[in-house]
Amino acid sequence: MSRFTPTLTTVLVLVGVALVAIVAIVVLAPRVGIPELGLSTTPGPDYALTVDPPPVAADPPARGIAGLVDAAWVARVSAASGIPARALAAYAGAAI
């Protein structure tokens, strides 16, 4: 027989859940602008920062996605694996 009644067990479980929730809120609360923690009190920008455009890739030597793959690599892997060079170049170009 249990030493706690069902009502007392329910109350204890609810108190435990409430304590876990309070600890989670306190630990996970944002701490913006608290000088004691060494955090900045100035707000961040409210706009997107500008970035440099991505580098432009060189023109592929052949048309389509197969032209993105190195021809020497295609020849070497095709000979070693038995996969047709055209199919290998297409699959590798799609993966790139």
Which range among 4-8, 13-17, 40-44, 50-54 has the greatest average pLDDT? 13-17
- Which residues, 6 or more positions from 73, have their beta carbon under 8 angstroms from its beta carbon? 92
Report pLDDT for 8. Answer: 87
Helix, strand, coil proportions of the chain in percent (round to 5)? Answer: 55, 0, 45
Among 17-21, 51-55, 62-66, 77-81, the minimum mean pLDDT is found in 62-66
pLDDT in tens, 20-41: 999 999 888 876 666 666 666 6
Distance CA 89, CA 71 (A): 8
